[in-house]
Amino acid sequence: MQQDIPGGMAAQAEPVRRTSEIEEPTNLYIVHPLSARIVPICARLGITPNVVSLAGMACGVAAGVAYHWYPHPWVCLLGFALMFAWHVLDGADGQLARMTNSFSELGKIIDGICDYVTFGAVYLGLAFTLSRYVGTWVWGLAAVAALCHALQSATYELQRQQYNFWGWGRKSAALADLHPPKDALKDQPLLKRAANLLHGLYTRVQIAVSGGAAGFNQELEAILAVKPGCETALRQDYREVFAPSVRRWAILSANYRTIGIFLFAVAGMPMFYFLFEIFGFSAIMLWLQAGQRRRYQLFLDHAARL
């Protein structure tokens, strides 16, 4: 069944698994197949997606404790295993939400918080031990790395959202309403209102670091409003143009950070991971943003000619 979404477009049914053509290989072939084995069990037991998210966060916090002892290589292996468990549970909560049709703004916020708590715990564990070797200034380095991580993750997630929204018309991928009517918020329960406001704040951050997403969305909606008959063709063209670029953005996904943290920690050089997070990943993000701005303009020119 299709549902109406902003811009006059129609939403398709939500898949249980994430969109395969933009998924990076470690998720596609390892993490998400394992997540899929957990989902039916959780559904039978009545376990909610938010509980799965919190269980994953517990694994992430335990990984942070393990990485505190990174000078011992076997503990780095334990930290990596715990972070891998978090990835599996992080994949399972989304699949479970889609299977049970229970996704919500609150769920998105909890999932995001759990992600940041996981990496925050790991950064804290590493910085706590590093500070004994190199001095307390490393706390500032870890804090800057965490901020860069947050911005990079936000812009990567926006690329995925836009692909699912414009490419497939999936309603749950629509950006939060940045200017909801005050009366609408007033009538909502306090928890839901807070979730909507937080989701809107997060969306503002995503758009601010996205490389022109807000203007692109507005112009594409305007084109579709006057050319509704082009919707199907534009969706297909969008998928062909943007799927390869979203796959490139996956270098900023959590998976490669998990691998990087493990490699730098087991080598006894976690401080160099913080430096790579600040300078390496940030440079990659700026390069990807420049390419995305060019791609947005080319696609809008193409859409206007249809």
Helix (H, G, I), strand (E, B) or coil at 119: helix
All residues at 6 or more sequence positions from 67 whose CB lies less than 8 Å from its CB, including other chains: 75, 76, 79, 122, 125, 126, 261, 265, 270
On whether residue 12 sits in a domain, the answer given is no
On whether residue 157 sits in a domain, the answer given is no
CATH of residue 82: 1.20.120.1760
Angstrom distances, CA of residue 95 to CA of 237, 247, 261: 27, 20, 26
Angstrom distances, CA of residue 283 to CA of 81, 257, 276: 29, 15, 10
Domain count of the fold of the chain: 1
Burial grade of 241 (CB within 10 A; 0-12, 13-18, 19 or more) = middle
On whether residue 191 sits in a domain, the answer given is yes
On whether residue 76 sits in a domain, the answer given is yes
Which residues are 9's β-sheet partners? 5
Q: How far, in Å, CA of 65 to CA of 53, rounded?
A: 19
Domain that holds residue 201: 19-148+181-305
On whether residue 170 sits in a domain, the answer given is no
On whether residue 176 sits in a domain, the answer given is no
For the chain, the residue count is: 306
CB 205 within 8 A of CB 213: no
On whether residue 274 sits in a domain, the answer given is yes
On whether residue 129 sits in a domain, the answer given is yes
pLDDT in tens, the chain (306 residues): 333 444 444 444 445 566 889 999 999 999 999 999 999 999 999 999 989 999 999 999 999 999 999 999 999 999 999 999 999 999 998 889 888 877 666 667 777 788 889 999 999 999 999 999 999 999 999 999 999 998 999 889 889 989 999 999 887 656 655 545 555 556 666 666 666 666 677 777 777 777 788 889 889 999 988 988 889 999 999 999 999 999 999 999 999 999 999 999 999 999 999 999 999 999 999 999 999 999 999 999 999 988
Q: How far, in Å, CA of 4 to CA of 217, rounded?
A: 17
